[in-house]
Chains A and B, each alone.
Chain A
Amino acid sequence: MAREPRFVFKEAAFNAALVKVDRNKVYGWSEIKYEDSNQQICSFINMLDDGKTMVGTGGIALKSIDELGDEIDKSTLIAKYMDDTDAVLYPSVFDVDTVLSNDKSISDYLSMDVKSVYQLQFSESNESILELLKIHKVLYFSFNYRAGYDPDDAFLLHQGDNIFAVIGRLTNFSYSSLEIPSVLDDETEEAGDDLDFNMF
Chain B
Amino acid sequence: MRKIKIANVQKRDAEIVFGGLFRKPVVQYKLQDGTTARNIKVLKSDLKRQYDALFNEYGSDESLSKGILEEDPEIDLNNVGKIIGTTQKVLINPDNKPVYKVKITEVIYNVDGSIKDEKPFTTRNQNILSDYPISWTGKQIPIDEAYNKFIFAKKYQLTHNNGLTFDFLFAMAKELHGKKVMMLLAAGAKGNEPLIFQENGRPYRAFLEGRIIDESYLLIMHISNLELKPIL
CB atoms of A46 and B89 under 8 A apart: yes
CB pair B151–A191 under 8 Å, yes or no, is no
Closest residue to B228 on the A side, CB-wise? A159
Separation in Å of the B84 CB from the closest CB of chain A? 6
Indicate if A137 sits at the interface (CB-CB under 8 A).
Answer: yes
Max count, chain B CB within 10 A of own CB: residue among A45, A77, A109: A45
Chain A residues with Cβ below 8 Å from B118 are 33
Query: Is B66 engaged at the interface, CB distance under 8 Å to the other chain?
Result: no
Chain B positions within 8 Å of A65 at CB level: 37-40
Query: How distant is the Cα of A64 from the Cα of B17 in the complex, in angstroms?
Result: 38
The segment from A3-11, A94-102, A139-147, A161-169 found at the interface with B is A161-169
Check if A2 is an interface residue, CB within 8 A of chain B: no
Choose one: A78, A184, A199; the contact of B20 (CB below 8 Å). Answer: A184
Chain A positions within 8 Å of B230 at CB level? 119, 159-160, 162
Q: Total interface residues on A, using CB and 8 Å?
A: 104
User: Contacts A26-B231, A114-B153: A54 and B46 contacting too (C-beta < 8 A)?
Assistant: yes
Q: Does A124 contact B (CB under 8 A)?
A: no
A21 CA / B230 CA spacing, docked (Å): 8
Given contacts A40-B93, A114-B153, A176-B217, A197 and B203 within 8 Å (CB-CB): yes
Residues of the B chain whose Cβ atoms lie less than 8 Å from the Cβ of A21 = 226, 228-229, 231
Contacts of A30 in B (CB 8 A): 106-109
Min CB gap A117→B, angstroms:
6
Residues of A within 8 A of B89 (CB): 44-47
Please indicate the chain A residues that have their CB under 8 angstroms from the CB of B215 in the complex.
177-178
**Which A residues are CB-close (under 8 A) to B229?**
21, 26, 159
Q: Which of B65-117 contact A (CB under 8 A)?
A: 79, 84-96, 98-99, 101-111, 116
> Which residues of A lie under 8 Å from residue B48 when comparing CB positions?
54
Interface residues of B in 16-42 (CB under 8 A from A): 17-23, 25-32, 34-35, 37-42
Chain B residues whose CB sits within 8 angstroms of the CB of A55 once the complex forms: 43, 45-47, 84, 87
Task: Check if B159 is an interface residue, CB within 8 A of chain A.
Answer: yes
Q: Mark B146-158, 1 if CB is under 8 A from A, else 0.
A: 0111111111110
B204 CB to closest chain A CB (Å) equals 8
Whether A60 touches B149, Cβ cut-off 8 Å, given contacts A49-B86, A185-B19, A187-B22, is no
Q: Are A191 and B199 closer than 8 Å at their CB atoms?
A: yes
Residue A194 is within 8 A (CB to CB) of chain B in the complex: yes
Residues of B within 8 A of A49 (CB): 85-88
A60 engages B216 (CB within 8 Å): no
Closest residue of B by beta carbon distance from A122? B232
Do residues B111 and A26 form an inter-chain contact, with CB atoms below 8 A? Answer: yes
For B30, give its contact among A34, A78, A109, A190 (CB under 8 Å).
A78
Name the one of B25, B91, B150, B217 contacting A175, with C-beta atoms under 8 angstroms. Answer: B217
Identity of the chain B residue whose Cβ is nearest the Cβ of A78 in the assembled complex: B30
Closest partner residue, chain B, to A117 (CB atom): B151
Q: Shortest distance in angstroms between A164's beta carbon and chain B's nearest beta carbon? A: 6
Is B2 interfacial (CB 8 A cutoff)?
A: yes
Q: Determine the residue in chain A with the shortest Cβ distance to B165.
A: A181
Task: Say yes or no: A176 contacts B226, CB within 8 Å.
Answer: no
B47 touches A194 (CB 8 A): no
CA distance A198 to B104 in the complex (A): 25
Give chain B interface residues in 179-205, CB to chain A under 8 Å: 194, 197-203, 205
CB closest chain-A residue, reference B230:
A162
Q: Which residues of B contact A (CB under 8 A)?
A: 1-2, 17-23, 25-32, 34-35, 37-48, 50, 52, 79, 84-96, 98-99, 101-111, 116, 118, 121, 124, 143-144, 147-157, 159-161, 163, 166, 169, 194, 197-203, 205, 209, 211-213, 215-220, 222, 224-232
Contacts A33-B105, A45-B92 given; 10 further ones with Cβ under 8 A?
A: A23-B226, A27-B226, A38-B93, A41-B94, A62-B42, A63-B39, A82-B28, A159-B228, A159-B229, A184-B18
Closest 7 CB pairs of A and B: A184-B19, A192-B202, A175-B216, A191-B200, A177-B216, A46-B87, A77-B29
